Amino acid sequence: MFDLLNDCPGLAPWLEQTAELSGYLWDKGWAERNAGNLSIDVTDIITEQSACAADPLCRDLSFAYPQLAGRYFIVTGTGHRFRDLAHDAPHHACVLHLSDDGRVFHLVWGGEDDPDFRPTSEFPAHLRVHEFLRQRSAAERVVLHTHPTELIALTHLPEYQNEAALNRALWGAHPEVKVTVPRGVGLVPYTAPGTEALALATVAALRRDHPAAVWAMHGIVAVAREVMEAFDLVDTLNKAAQIILLRRGAGVASPGLNDAQLAELVRLFHLKD
């Protein structure tokens, strides 16, 4: 009998990291109800055999993604609680396969006991980002969307509704931010969730050489090679946002690290900014 996890032993570590991540996101308070979603391009660890054994039920995509034709993704399910993923991935996530024309997909694993299982409502954004990553032959294969509370709160403040101002504030909060995110984040003005407009604006932000796109008044999309790398990126940015808000709450109007201190970090750590 066909068993994807047995046929493709390389998949298990990715599913384990996904489960570990879902626990962290829940603990952080960044994955309320069904918030947050994840996709991982696992094409290079799926064997030929698995493709043949695929579920024949094809599901339409709203758009065509010819550059993703034939690729495989781990994807979390729409309407599913991220926190449930930690202990039951087969019911709350799936591995899906895009058709050779990139217009439909079918499940090859997971989505168990739910004939209507659908990937995340933000799948349009995930697919556009993966398309962008493939166009660049990038090493990144993980796309994470979550709702980091303080970072979202920051985007409610008019003074940070500007990419340059937001990045200057985040870098000023703590030296680690400049060291680990030297090019800063992209800022996507508020756009309705799940839309193609949001997907395209996210790619436009990543195209400006940012590893993450902050969705104003909604959340963030982070791109990374490893699941934990995506989590660490969001964690670092949200820590900076916490510091900025604490400082404001204490009545201190300071940009934190000054320009000379940031320039010193660029020099000391040979940063490309």
Give the binding site for ligand 2HA (CB under 6 A). 34-37, 120-122, 145, 193
- Type of residue found at 83: R
Pairing of strands 104-110, 142-146: unpaired
124 binding Zn ion? (CB under 5 A): no
If we measure between CA atoms, which residue out of 34, 242, 46, 256 comes closest to residue 152?
242
> 118 or 247, CB closer to Zn ion?
118
Binding residues for Zn ion, how many (CB under 5 A)?
A: 1
Write down the least CB distance from residue 83 to Zn ion, Å: 15
CA distance 109 to 90: 7
Can 131 be counted among the known catalytic residues?
no
* Amino acid sitting at position 94: C
Question: Site mask, Zn ion, residues 180-219, x = CB under 5 A?
Answer: ---------------------------------------x
Which is closer to Zn ion, CB of 152 or CB of 265?
A: 152
37 contacts which partner out of ligand 2HA, Zn ion, none, CB within 5 to 8 A by kind? Answer: ligand 2HA
In whole angstroms, the minimum distance from the beta carbon of 67 to Zn ion comes to: 25
Q: How far is the CB of 121 from ligand 2HA (least distance, A)?
A: 5
Q: At its nearest, how many Å lie between Zn ion and the CB of residue 31?
A: 9
The reply to whether 119 sits near Zn ion by the rule CB under 5 A is no
Q: How many CB atoms lie within 10 A of CB 227?
A: 24
E-strand ranges in the chain read 37-41, 59-60, 72-76, 93-98, 104-110, 142-146, 186-188, 212-215, 219-224
Alpha helices in 156-254 (DSSP H): 163-173, 175-180, 196-207, 227-249
The residues in 219-248 that bind Zn ion, with binding defined as CB under 5 A, are 219
Choosing from 122, 131, 150, 163, which is the catalytic residue?
A: 122
Could you tell me which residues are beta bridge partners of residue 104?
60
**3-state secondary structure at position 226:** coil
The set of catalytic residues is 122
Question: What residue ranges bind Zn ion (CB under 5 A)?
Answer: 219
